[in-house]
A and B are shown apart, each in its own frame.
Chain A
């Protein structure tokens, strides 16, 4: 299996622009998570989906952030408009449905976002 795939790996944009980050989970995994990693705040959960349905989006910073999972093999995280404080590494992770709570999350390589 190719693992969790994220694109792009690096994104540099200017303040005010729309940014879309993409994630393809491991085939057969039905839970998907979006995390943000910064030096100041560490690794934070933004949102997670079960069976394509958002379960907990309490970590989404504000209305500028939105996430979708139109099908089991694809998810997007969008920031509109972007701001310099959004600069971070964004990780996507997926999880096998059979293990439930205790099963392992598999992380993608991350997208490093820089907003100028």
Chain B
């Protein structure tokens, strides 16, 4: 069975600092990987997705993620965060015939 582990439940950072949100997945078959963001009192919005090809994926709002097959990881990064990046971030995995499986989420808190 598939599963997704987000290693940090909360990540506090200062504005303009770099950030990495970690995600590991377990699956015996090839999967597709996603990062979603949820701003307060809103639904989820797709940040980026890895389907195939280049392992470095660029998304919206300056975020990027790197797929590492050997480490079964898909960590999300941003070189310089803003206050407006404060939100909850979800890693998700999907394989053929199934719906998305989400991690528990990581709360990113950016302060000045």
- Residues of A that sit less than 8 Å from B by CB: 4, 33, 42-45, 48, 56, 91, 93, 101-102, 104-105, 107-110
Instruction: Classify chain B's interface size.
Output: 20 to 34
The answer to whether B32 and A109 have CB atoms under 8 Å apart is no
**In whole angstroms, how far apart are the Cα atoms of A88 and B84 in the complex?**
25
The answer to whether A42 and B99 have CB atoms under 8 Å apart is no
Select from chain A the residue with minimum beta-carbon distance to B51. Answer: A102
The answer to whether B32 and A102 have CB atoms under 8 Å apart is yes
The answer to whether A42 and B102 have CB atoms under 8 Å apart is yes
**In whole angstroms, how far apart are the Cα atoms of A108 and B41 in the complex?**
11
The answer to whether B43 and A109 have CB atoms under 8 Å apart is yes
The answer to whether B102 and A110 have CB atoms under 8 Å apart is no
Name the B residues within 8 Å of A104 (CB-CB). Answer: 46, 49
Name the B residues within 8 Å of A91 (CB-CB). Answer: 43-44
**In whole angstroms, how far apart are the Cα atoms of A55 and B19 in the complex?**
38
